[in-house]
Amino acid sequence: MCGIVGYIGSQEAQSILLDGLSKLEYRGYDSAGLAIYNGENIGFCKSQGRLADLKQKLETCLLPGNLGIGHTRWATHGKPSDENAHPHTDEQKMFAVVHNGIIENYAELKEELIAKGHVFTSETDTEVIAKLLSDHWDGSLVSTVQKVVQELRGAYALGIISEYEPDKLVAVRLASPLVIGVGKGENMIASDIPAILKYTRDVYLLDDGDMAVLTPDHVQLMRVDGTPIERETIQITWDVKQAEKDGYDHFMLKEINEQPRAIRDTLAGRIKKGRVDLSNELSISKEDLKNFERIHFVACGTAYHAGMIGKYVLEKLVRIPVEVDVASEYRYREPIVNERTLFVAISQSGETADTLAALKEAKRQGARILAITNVVGSSVAREADEVIITWAGPEIAVASTKAYTSQLIAVYLLGIYFAQMLETQSEQQLQTWVEELLQLPDKAASLLQPEQVEKVESYAREMSKHSSLFFIGRGLDYAVALEGSLKLKEISYIHSEAYAAGELKHGTLALIEEDVPVIALSTQKVLAEKTVSNVQEVKARGAYVLGVTNEADAELSKTADELISIPATLDLFAPVLAVIPLQLFAYYACLQRGFDVDKPRNLAKSVTVE
């Protein structure tokens, strides 16, 4: 997501900041900016787009000076633009602030500041921090920052400089990473280690609630309440390439491991007092909802598989008929669309040409458009009437993992929110769902524990020796089977098919013979017996079966050759957990076969052609 770099020392800050930001490019961003103190005042340069765009701008507005902060922004509050790019400042440009994270109470703070006469020039939550600094200025940078952070709720890593005290660079961390690089006659801050590795390998890691005050020769660490902290620096021994991946071998593995965080972030702020609240994001009223006679989920690939779950969830919870289509087929089947249609586009990138084309067609025919996307300000988001952002953070590996589980969370939130509005479910039932949703981050994390991962790895290494593999499941498990199969094909190039378990006997069973590997999912209690019968059918033909099931389900464990257990959860939410071992299975199968995990052949991350 966003990247922070700050420098104080005797060298020109501009090139160091730009170099540091370039090392954070892998995190994904849509605008960038610098603020540098030139001996008299703070100069700013900001640009939407890539660092190359910022560099081009800097050719005409040079920023000399030895104290500065820089930022790459991945839009959250407000679209990607020059105005919304960081650093942000106050009206007199006495302070400059860069920020990673989200200030949850920014709207109320902004309102108070506007009432006091402050004028905002961006749509960001960050700008309130700059205005608060100027509003609360008490003659000391450290104590003013301390006062301001007391008022902030949410997650933040901050870098702050001020014309009042240009011998200091101040950093604060709460739930958003920040490191301090200790050099000789110069010190730095960064949101991630690669940004400073060229200059120093000695770093302090800040903990939540820590603050650091940097001068060229000294770093003072304290808690935000001023209590001093004694801490040793640590020596970084890894290289830049490894650091970008947080020590993981591949982005895909890193992103699989980020799922508990991505799920938590997608839920954050959307459940209030035990109820789903999307009223800040959606303008759909109860009347609008009553007026919809159909919902269309439209997406491609992995996002389409999330749409299949969406159909199930919305129909079950909201009782409105739902259709789900792959976007490239949608327009050509002449779907029935009118102003009583709610069209839901799901797209990680928000730039997929097929999805965008289907969306535009539905819009032309009068449908209300809701986008579920991971990228603020993307084309799909801009075309939509309503947007739900999945807070998975940038996904770099071509094979989608954390975006998928975040899309599922968005779909569950939407289903529960609509069910609350239409009162189609009992209060008690709704509450049970909400409570269980909040458990999912921890349950997902338990599937990423070493002993679980090693088990999946050993099955993947063995089963990837085969040239063909089947995934079967019923109901929601069928949708997850499709996703597991797609993951495997994409990166390991093993032929695989996903089948509705009950459909095998209508033809595909002919392909099952001695030793053919079958991954059987059974997480849906009402379907468990039926699925086990289908597993017996493939076992009788000699298949080798790896079962994936909830801990409590004993039936499948008696039938399958091997078993992966997922934590017990409500049937509705099992896909979020069941998919994780399948993602790991594909990852380790790919490793076993020696292919490029993050960049599989013939595929692109964002497919902008129809």
Distance CA 460, CA 484 (A): 12
**Maximum Cα–Cα distance across the chain:** 82
Q: Is 347 in the site for ligand F6R (CB under 6 A)?
A: yes
CB of 209 to ligand F6R, least distance (A): 37
Identify whether the C-beta of residue 187 lies closer than 8 Å to the C-beta of residue 125: no
SS3 587: helix
CB of 399 to ligand F6R, least distance (A): 4
Identify whether the C-beta of residue 345 lies closer than 8 Å to the C-beta of residue 414: no
Cβ neighbourhood burial of 222 (10 Å; 0-12, 13-18, 19+): middle
Q: Is 301 in the site for ligand F6R (CB under 6 A)?
A: yes
The residue among 379 and 425 lying less far from ligand F6R, judged by its C-beta, is 379
Q: Is 266 in the site for ligand F6R (CB under 6 A)?
A: no
The residue among 2 and 597 lying less far from ligand F6R, judged by its C-beta, is 597
Q: Is 348 in the site for ligand F6R (CB under 6 A)?
A: yes
- With CB under 6 A as the contact rule, which of the stretches 42-50, 295-303, 433-441, 474-482 interacts with ligand F6R? 295-303
User: 55, 79, 93, 605: which one is catalytic?
Assistant: 605
The residue among 301 and 484 lying less far from ligand F6R, judged by its C-beta, is 301
As a whole number of Å, the CA-based R_g of the chain is 26
- With CB under 6 A as the contact rule, which of the stretches 19-27, 278-286, 347-355, 470-478 interacts with ligand F6R? 347-355
Distance CA 577, CA 467 (A): 27
φ/ψ (deg, to 5) at 97: -135, 135
Q: In terms of Cα–Cα distance, which of 199, 121, 127 is closest to 158?
A: 127
Please state, in angstroms and as integers, the Cα–Cα distance from residue 301 to each residue in 174, 400, 448, 487, following that order: 36, 9, 24, 10
Indicate which single residue of 35, 300, 381, 479 sits in contact with ligand F6R (rule: CB under 6 A). Answer: 300
Size of the site for ligand F6R (CB under 6 A): 15
Question: Residue 326 carries which side chain, given as an amino acid letter?
Answer: V
Indicate which single residue of 32, 129, 303, 546 sits in contact with ligand F6R (rule: CB under 6 A). Answer: 303
The residue among 348 and 559 lying less far from ligand F6R, judged by its C-beta, is 348
Task: Convert residues 53-82 into a mask of x (bound to ligand F6R by CB under 6 A) and - (unbound).
Answer: ------------------------------
Alpha helix stretches (DSSP H) within 226-300: 240-244, 251-257, 259-267, 286-291
Distance CA 420, CA 559 (A): 40
Q: In what order do the strands lie in the sheet with 187-190?
A: 42-48, 31-37, 67-73, 3-8, 187-190, 179-182, 202-205, 234-235
Do strands 169-174 and 210-214 pair parallel, antiparallel, or not at all (unpaired)?
A: antiparallel
The residue among 14 and 400 lying less far from ligand F6R, judged by its C-beta, is 400
CB of 486 to ligand F6R, least distance (A): 6
User: 2, 45, 300, 590: which one is catalytic?
Assistant: 2
* Structure tokens, 8: 């104080």
- With CB under 6 A as the contact rule, which of the stretches 87-95, 202-210, 299-307, 548-556 interacts with ligand F6R? 299-307
Identify whether the C-beta of residue 546 lies closer than 8 Å to the C-beta of residue 517: yes
Indicate which single residue of 47, 126, 302, 522 sits in contact with ligand F6R (rule: CB under 6 A). Answer: 302
Distance CA 565, CA 459 (A): 13
Q: Is 298 in the site for ligand F6R (CB under 6 A)?
A: no
Indicate which single residue of 355, 492, 524, 534 sits in contact with ligand F6R (rule: CB under 6 A). Answer: 355
Nearby residues of 74 by Cβ (< 8 Å), 6 or more positions away: 1, 2, 27, 28, 29, 30, 376, 393, 394
CB of 481 to ligand F6R, least distance (A): 15
Indicate which single residue of 122, 349, 420, 531 sits in contact with ligand F6R (rule: CB under 6 A). Answer: 349
Identify whether the C-beta of residue 411 lies closer than 8 Å to the C-beta of residue 299: no
Distance CA 313, CA 575 (A): 11
The residue among 127 and 386 lying less far from ligand F6R, judged by its C-beta, is 386
Identify whether the C-beta of residue 258 lies closer than 8 Å to the C-beta of residue 592: no
Whether 443 is catalytic: no
The residue among 358 and 520 lying less far from ligand F6R, judged by its C-beta, is 358
Whether 590 is catalytic: no
The residue among 349 and 565 lying less far from ligand F6R, judged by its C-beta, is 349
CB of 457 to ligand F6R, least distance (A): 20
CB of 464 to ligand F6R, least distance (A): 18
Q: Is 89 in the site for ligand F6R (CB under 6 A)?
A: no
Question: Residue 185 carries which side chain, given as an amino acid letter?
Answer: G
Distance CA 588, CA 125 (A): 41
The residue among 312 and 404 lying less far from ligand F6R, judged by its C-beta, is 404
Please state, in angstroms and as integers, the Cα–Cα distance from residue 233 to each residue in 3, 8, 174, 200, following that order: 22, 18, 19, 11
- With CB under 6 A as the contact rule, which of the stretches 165-173, 238-246, 298-306, 464-472 interacts with ligand F6R? 298-306
Cβ neighbourhood burial of 230 (10 Å; 0-12, 13-18, 19+): exposed
SS3 519: strand
Packed helices 402-422 and 259-267: angle between N→C axes, nearest 10 degrees: 30
The residue among 22 and 348 lying less far from ligand F6R, judged by its C-beta, is 348
Q: Is 490 in the site for ligand F6R (CB under 6 A)?
A: yes
CB of 357 to ligand F6R, least distance (A): 12
Site for ligand F6R in 547-606 (CB under 6 A): 606
CB of 303 to ligand F6R, least distance (A): 4
Indicate which single residue of 94, 222, 229, 607 sits in contact with ligand F6R (rule: CB under 6 A). Answer: 607
Identify whether the C-beta of residue 411 lies closer than 8 Å to the C-beta of residue 315: no
Task: Convert residues 460-489 into a mask of x (bound to ligand F6R by CB under 6 A) and - (unbound).
Answer: --------------------------x---
The residue among 398 and 577 lying less far from ligand F6R, judged by its C-beta, is 398
Question: Residue 261 carries which side chain, given as an amino acid letter?
Answer: R
Query: CB nearest ligand F6R: which residue?
Result: 301
Site for ligand F6R in 391-450 (CB under 6 A): 399-400
CB-based burial, 489-518: b 16+ in 10 Å, e otherwise: bbbbbbebbbbbbbebeeeebeebeeebbb
- With CB under 6 A as the contact rule, which of the stretches 104-112, 272-280, 345-353, 551-559 interacts with ligand F6R? 345-353
CB of 607 to ligand F6R, least distance (A): 5
CB of 200 to ligand F6R, least distance (A): 37
Site residues for ligand F6R per CB under 6 A: 300-303, 347-349, 352, 355, 399-400, 486, 490, 606-607
Catalytic residues: 2, 605
